[in-house]
Structure 1
Amino acid sequence: MEKQSIPKQFIYGGDYNPEQWLDRPDILARDLEMLQKARINAVTLGVFSWSILEPEEGVFHLEWLKEMMNTLYARGIRVILATPSGARPRWLAEKYPEVLRVREDRVRCLYGERHNHCYTSPVYRQKVRMINQKLAETFKDHPGVILWHISNEYGGECHCPLCQAAFRRWLKERYQTIDALNHAWWTTFWSHTYTSFEQVESPSTLGDSGLHGLSLDWKRFVTAQTTDFMREEIRALREAGATQPVNTNFMEDYTGLNYYELAKEIDIVSWDSYPLWRYQSDSRTALQTGMQHDLMRTMKHAPFLLMESSPSGLNWQPVSKLKKPGLLLNASLHAIAHGADSVQFFQIRQGRGGFEKFHGAVIDHYGGEDTRVFREVTQTGQALESLACIAGSQVDAPAAVLWDTESRWAMEQARGPRNEGLFYREAVFKSYQALRKCGLNVDLLQVEQPLEGYRMLVVPMLYMFRSGIEDRLREFVQGGGTLIMTYWSGIVNETDLCYLGGTPHGLTDLLGLRSEEIDALCTGEVHHFAAESGAPQYRCENLCDLVRLQGAQTLMRYTDDFYRGYPAVTVHPYGKGRAYYICTDAEEGFYNDFYKEVTACLNLAPILPSMPEGLEVSSRQDEENEYIFVQNFTDDPISLPVPPNAAVLFGDFEAGQVQGCSTVVFRRRRV
């Protein structure tokens, strides 16, 4: 077979498990017909196939996979080929029990589930390397393979003796001396001082779970060890001659790993999106999902892949709601609008047994074309074909919100000022949704990423300052940028030691204030703040920062409790820019009003000049065109003025309305 060039298109398909149906060639043949009718152009193979690929140690059965790939390719369907490390075969765990994880209570797990394996185990690494190289040697030149899918949803941790030893080596490389570690972790508290690295154990509820520096570094080590394991998987493919790009699939709001570190090692970021549609308004769910799309896109400032989504209901959420008519297409195009270059489903065909036998699928147990889901999958495939010109285009964002996983780790274990929740993600979302309602594309930056090129930067609850962020924020504002920082920022350094002197650390002169105290409100307790004129008044909860002004101007003040009259919102000119400080966990309405004023002052032009309530607007652009996605996640049509100099590329825009649960895409030439 000769390799064929891949036309410009969106990847459309999903996880396919033909190994479950090898005894039913009639079903496999029917699947292929239905995939073509649905316009599916790629499937992911081999994610959980290790026990079929290598049914016993050193005995490989790849013929079925080769035959399936040849058949798919002959029908114009390409393959994303997975490495199978996400679920090891039973024989491997029985012969080499060291590959099974040990829990934090030091009990070794039994065989079962997924990702129940030790990333440190030399045996497991060797066996993964062998199967990966066998796959690469066999399929590296297959014209149908467009991408390698590395493992599946990396996650979890192991506390076995191998991991303990690796953790100590990692710490010794990081700190060099035990005295340096003791200082970084402040171990003199409770007389926890170490005299050698050999005394260090991973955090455990049976032992040390209150030493914050230890817990924070353990999370960093777990990320480093997982990243190293993934790196070894990729190296095995490369050494065997595989040249295709690699990716691995991330999960929504997963706090077990710092995904930014893993993203450095892969070519394309992808993630698995399973929103709770119909639990609340779909418009709000779309905003929350959009924030996750934008986080994934910003990791590499490049198109990402929607690796998994459900074409119908799920089986593992508290209540398994179906997607209402039109939502499958609207949600799929929502990912495209935020920078995805694929729409992929889990799963192509429902299995008859196992944990996900009732998870939504393109082809259900009935197996026919005459289902609502299959019709909508086909309509989505047709839509993606009509929008193929957008594939590969970029998202340009004038504003960014800073999101930092390590700071979140540290603040959520810090024991104060609220142990009933600090609501970091919610704080980020309040700023994100407000900027989106201003009609702007928004990036979700990691703390290490460059700040240049943005007009406006929001830094919510950056408890930990690291990577020189305070210096880079200063340069950003001095050069003309607008910074909005909130309460509970700049409190500790990278090992969770509190800064001495004023906070936010290193930025009191830039902000023109110093935080003196922070009051924690009980759950359900509400205070208020208002503009100097007294109106409007906004609610606040959870945390109220009490600041001493050192040059900043007060824009709003608290109106309750003993700190009535204290500043609640401030502004301070600095260099060519200005820095705002929001002292309290304010309601969303405040952010919507406040960011509307700030963006207007900055002349940050929205994507569309008119933003009717209920519509979400996003844009992508290539060298010649801008593509504007207008999406309605309500049930009712919403009127929209025709965007200037734009023509409808896709969707129903009769009578100047965007229909309920639908998308309209406009195209206009870039000036």
Structure 2
Amino acid sequence: MPDLSDVTRGRLLFGGDYNPEQWPEETWHEDVRLMKAAGVNSVTLGVFSWSTLEPEPGAREFGWLDTLMDLMHDNGIGVVLATPTSSPPPWMGRLHPDTLPVTEDGRTEWWGGRQHFSHSSATYRRYAAAITEDLAARYGDHPALTMWHINNEYCTFDYGDQAAAAFRRWLREKYGSLDALNEAWGTAFWSQGYDTWDGILPPRLPHYMRNPGQVLDFRRFTSDMLLECYVAERDIVRRHTPHLPVTSNFMPLWFGQDAWRWAEEEDVVSVDIYPDPRDPLGAQNGALVQDMTRSQARGPWMLMEQAAGPVNWRGVNHPKPRGLNRLWSLQAVARGADAVCYFQWRQSRQGAEKFHSGMVSHAGEDGRTYQEVKQLGADLARIAPDVSGLHGTADVAVLHDWNSWWAGAQDGRLSTQADYPDVLRAWHRALWQAHLTTDFAHPEHDLTPYPVVVAAQLYALTDAAIDNLLAYVRGGGTLVCGFQTGVADEDDRVRRGGMDARLRELFGIRTLHEWWPLGAGETVSCEGFRASLWSEELEADGTAEESVPYKGGELDGLPAVLRKGRAWYVSTLPEPEALRDLLARIASGAGVRPVLDGLPEQVECVRRGEVLFVLNHGREPVTVEVPGTHHDLLTGEAATDRVTLGRYGVAVLRP
């Protein structure tokens, strides 16, 4: 199948969403001039253009898009052509109310925004297929076309009657019988047993808490229905252009899609990343998403969207300080991106996102935003021949599974404070601050390439996943698991003993007596550090070779951390420095070290192929020891034994 390398051909793609239908035609030629000056080589057209392309049912208005496709080709700019199916025209909802999604409390989501479609609506799917078919037939042979972009940020949940019928079909296929479904959902509890398929509904708003098994399956179903929509459009464009890659953009760590499954259906894995420029951990959050996306892609990936300046959907939307856009863009390249793109090219003057930044801001060509975009375009062109298509390497894998996340995020959980994404970020942050580059992996993936594997929290694990972890440790790997790992099976059925017996034996735990969640601001003392969020009343079985006890309180003297052989269990969330030091020590014991020793705290160092990226996430200049002589691809100068980086500075060093 085609992939991103078929588009890049030794370049790094640079550009973004272009929405020329918002502007008079004379602006298009001005846009092309500015694009060429900035080094833009790729634009995405058509993402939100359905009502312009099909202003009434069955009509086709392609003339404006013909002009744009020709204009881009004449100026050497490739087009990622989007199917416009994320935002149906108002006429569709008006004429076909069955295409509109319904919320869990029965409210219809009307047109006037975006993503207002029911993934289970046959009518919606028919119109989506028709516009996709006509786009592919008209532009499949156009020389500007380089890639297809299906829909946009799939994120629709639907609890309506059509979704209910589709949910029942999905459940029949999965379980085969009502007896199997009742067993999986534990419907003996609260008198919920089903005697007919027609009695099953989506988990709509109830009087009290919902059945967790039903909710878990509905989340799986929703991901699968959205994937069906993607695959249907993908297959249409593939039939017309089998030589061109197809993608759809993920949102970072999005709850609603099993991105491991989705990535298997994409030729190019792409993502949208919007860290908060005010967040001191914004760079780490970006690194987490980049590591996860690279792992899903198993190689180079596409940064489909980022902001050149402020967004418009936070409570307070700050612009990016001078240099931060360049720094975070080059961080993405360091972690495997072969495309650096934005939403959007020119900042809108009307509509809901007129205060969301563009590569050309309201300040225009002379504005700081565009001038920094021009600098970045030149930087990407300089480094592209040495990094495009290359894979980064990591010796640490972080385990992540959407099914486990979905199962743990139930109404009746022990603590709403122990939010899975926050726990995952805390563990990734500890590794990032220890200057250790990570991949992500599913717990059933082949883990043998990694000396160290960490699972921040995997509440629900299949038997296959547990067997995989046991085999990994038996094969010489080092495994570190956080609290509440292995509590339930894939049906969200709590395993006997509160943790799978095989895992208890692996970690040296005789009995897990109780979980002791901690309240907001509450901490516990452990030998050598303090911890928050969670604790557990564990009884060791005497086989552990290392133990860190709780100090004081109800759990005084009981193990907070256990090590048996190469398997570690951490029953709480150590304070950030303590978790960093613990994971760094474990990694060092397994032979895993940072790319460079003695790095300053605010400096990130990542190797991609032979090229070394050194990034200063601080506002103050810093000097970094880099033994040997290197060529800085950004400046063209030699660097011997050290580099000095200014505020948000970057060096890209080739031996």
Q: Which residue number corresponds to residue 315 of structure 2?
A: 318
State the Cα deviation string for residues 469-497 of structure 1 (Å, max 9, x = none): 11000110000000001221111111111
Distance 1:117 1:57, change over 3 A: same
1:548 aligned partner, one-letter code: E
Equivalent residue in structure 1 for 2:551, among 555, 559, 566: 559
Q: Which residue number corresponds to residue 228 of structure 2?
A: 228
Give runs of ≥4 in structure 1 deviating > 6 Å. Answer: 652-655
Q: CA deviation at 1:637?
A: 0.9
Q: CA deviation at 1:8?
A: 1.2
Q: CA deviation at 1:439?
A: 2.8
Name the CA distance, whole Å, in 2 between partners of 1:505 and 1:423.
Answer: 25
2:615 aligned partner, one-letter code: Q
Are residue 382 (structure 1) and residue 374 (structure 2) matched? no
Name the CA distance, whole Å, in 1 between partners of 2:420 and 2:590.
Answer: 27
Q: Which residue number corresponds to residue 454 of structure 2?
A: 458
State the Cα deviation string for residues 541-588 of structure 1 (Å, max 9, x = none): 221112221211333110021211111111112xxxx10111112111
Name the CA distance, whole Å, in 2 between partners of 1:350 and 1:297.
Answer: 29
The answer (yes or no) to whether the contact 1:140–1:243 under 8 Å persists in 2 is: no
* Corresponding residue SS for 1:641: strand
Distance 1:646 1:404, change over 3 A: same
Q: CA deviation at 1:397?
A: 0.8
Calculate percent identity across the aligned residue pairs.
34
Q: Which residue number corresponds to residue 303 of structure 2?
A: 306
Name the CA distance, whole Å, in 1 between partners of 2:242 and 2:435.
Answer: 43
Distance 1:241 1:382, change over 3 A: closer
Q: CA deviation at 1:202?
A: 0.6
Name the CA distance, whole Å, in 1 between partners of 2:261 and 2:551.
Answer: 44
Name the CA distance, whole Å, in 1 between partners of 2:311 and 2:165.
Answer: 40
Name the CA distance, whole Å, in 1 between partners of 2:627 and 2:81.
Answer: 42
2:405 aligned partner, one-letter code: R
Are residue 544 (structure 1) and residue 532 (structure 2) matched? no
1:666 aligned partner, one-letter code: L
Equivalent residue in structure 1 for 2:568, among 562, 567, 580: 580
The answer (yes or no) to whether the contact 1:203–1:209 under 8 Å persists in 2 is: no
* Corresponding residue SS for 1:647: strand
Larger mean CA deviation between 183-192 and 511-520 belongs to: 511-520
The answer (yes or no) to whether the contact 1:554–1:568 under 8 Å persists in 2 is: no
Q: Which residue number corresponds to residue 590 of structure 1?
A: 578
Q: CA deviation at 1:502?
A: 5.9
Distance 1:491 1:591, change over 3 A: same
Are residue 36 (structure 1) and residue 36 (structure 2) matched? yes
Name the CA distance, whole Å, in 1 between partners of 2:629 and 2:470.
Answer: 39
Q: CA deviation at 1:123?
A: 1.2
Q: Which residue number corresponds to residue 562 of structure 2?
A: 570
Q: Which residue number corresponds to residue 533 of structure 1?
A: none
Name the CA distance, whole Å, in 2 between partners of 1:518 and 1:170.
Answer: 35
Q: Which residue number corresponds to residue 3 of structure 2?
A: none
Q: Which residue number corresponds to residue 600 of structure 1?
A: 588
Distance 1:241 1:375, change over 3 A: closer
* Corresponding residue SS for 2:536: strand
| Aligned length in residues | 644
Name the CA distance, whole Å, in 2 between partners of 1:343 and 1:181.
Answer: 45
Distance 1:75 1:505, change over 3 A: farther
Distance 1:456 1:182, change over 3 A: same
Are residue 658 (structure 1) and residue 650 (structure 2) matched? no
Distance 1:211 1:346, change over 3 A: same
Q: Which residue number corresponds to residue 534 of structure 1?
A: none
Q: Which residue number corresponds to residue 275 of structure 1?
A: 275
* Corresponding residue SS for 2:119: coil
The answer (yes or no) to whether the contact 2:417–2:520 under 8 Å persists in 1 is: no
Alignment of 1:106-125 (within 5 A): 106-125=106-125
Name the CA distance, whole Å, in 1 between partners of 2:643 and 2:503.
Answer: 49
Q: CA deviation at 1:55?
A: 1.4
Q: CA deviation at 1:207?
A: 5.7
Alignment of 1:67-86 (within 5 A): 67-86=67-86
The answer (yes or no) to whether the contact 2:488–2:499 under 8 Å persists in 1 is: no
CA RMSD, 1 decimal: 1.8
State the Cα deviation string for residues 138-170 of structure 1 (Å, max 9, x = none): 111112111101100001211222211110111
Name the CA distance, whole Å, in 2 between partners of 1:601 and 1:158.
Answer: 49
State the Cα deviation string for residues 625-670 of structure 1 (Å, max 9, x = none): x1111111111111111233543222586973121211111113xx
The answer (yes or no) to whether the contact 1:512–1:552 under 8 Å persists in 2 is: yes
Name the CA distance, whole Å, in 1 between partners of 2:597 and 2:546.
Answer: 31
Name the CA distance, whole Å, in 2 between partners of 1:25 and 1:111.
Answer: 28
Distance 1:428 1:505, change over 3 A: farther
2:607 aligned partner, one-letter code: S
2:372 aligned partner, one-letter code: E
* Corresponding residue SS for 1:387: helix
Name the CA distance, whole Å, in 1 between partners of 2:75 and 2:380.
Answer: 19
1:8 aligned partner, one-letter code: G
Q: CA deviation at 1:25?
A: 2.5
State the Cα deviation string for residues 294-319 of structure 1 (Å, max 9, x = none): 11111121111110111111111111
* Corresponding residue SS for 2:22: helix
Name the CA distance, whole Å, in 2 between partners of 1:649 and 1:366.
Answer: 31
The answer (yes or no) to whether the contact 1:157–1:222 under 8 Å persists in 2 is: yes
Alignment of 1:277-426 (within 5 A): 277-278=277-278, 280-281=279-280, 284-367=281-364, 369-389=365-385, 390-413=387-410, 415-418=412-415, 420-426=416-422
Name the CA distance, whole Å, in 1 between partners of 2:329 and 2:61.
Answer: 36
State the Cα deviation string for residues 429-471 of structure 1 (Å, max 9, x = none): 2222222233322012223422120100001221101261110
Name the CA distance, whole Å, in 2 between partners of 1:18 and 1:441.
Answer: 40
Name the CA distance, whole Å, in 1 between partners of 2:7 and 2:617.
Answer: 37
The answer (yes or no) to whether the contact 2:12–2:339 under 8 Å persists in 1 is: yes
Unaligned 5+ residue runs, structure 2? 1-5
Distance 1:143 1:662, change over 3 A: same
Name the CA distance, whole Å, in 1 between partners of 2:277 and 2:39.
Answer: 25
* Corresponding residue SS for 2:337: coil
- TM norm structure 1: 0.93
* Corresponding residue SS for 1:639: strand
* Corresponding residue SS for 1:540: strand
State the Cα deviation string for residues 41-76 of structure 1 (Å, max 9, x = none): 110000011111111222211121111111111111
Q: CA deviation at 1:192?
A: 1.0
Larger mean CA deviation between 541-550 and 173-182 belongs to: 541-550
Q: CA deviation at 1:260?
A: 2.0
Q: CA deviation at 1:243?
A: 3.4
Name the CA distance, whole Å, in 2 between partners of 1:585 and 1:618.
Answer: 27
2:621 aligned partner, one-letter code: P
Name the CA distance, whole Å, in 1 between partners of 2:84 and 2:153.
Answer: 12
Larger mean CA deviation between 642-651 and 392-401 belongs to: 642-651
Name the CA distance, whole Å, in 2 between partners of 1:508 and 1:596.
Answer: 24
Larger mean CA deviation between 374-383 and 325-334 belongs to: 325-334
Larger mean CA deviation between 596-605 and 265-274 belongs to: 596-605
Name the CA distance, whole Å, in 1 between partners of 2:442 and 2:112.
Answer: 35
Name the CA distance, whole Å, in 1 between partners of 2:137 and 2:49.
Answer: 17
Distance 1:627 1:407, change over 3 A: same
* Corresponding residue SS for 1:261: helix
The answer (yes or no) to whether the contact 2:434–2:581 under 8 Å persists in 1 is: no
Distance 1:659 1:513, change over 3 A: same
Name the CA distance, whole Å, in 2 between partners of 1:291 and 1:239.
Answer: 35
Equivalent residue in structure 2 for 1:640, among 620, 624, 628: 624
Q: CA deviation at 1:7?
A: 4.0
Q: Which residue number corresponds to residue 99 of structure 1?
A: 99
Are residue 434 (structure 1) and residue 425 (structure 2) matched? no
Name the CA distance, whole Å, in 2 between partners of 1:136 and 1:371.
Answer: 37
Name the CA distance, whole Å, in 1 between partners of 2:273 and 2:597.
Answer: 31
Q: CA deviation at 1:113?
A: 1.1
Q: Which residue number corresponds to residue 519 of structure 1?
A: 516
The answer (yes or no) to whether the contact 2:238–2:244 under 8 Å persists in 1 is: no
The answer (yes or no) to whether the contact 1:447–1:467 under 8 Å persists in 2 is: no
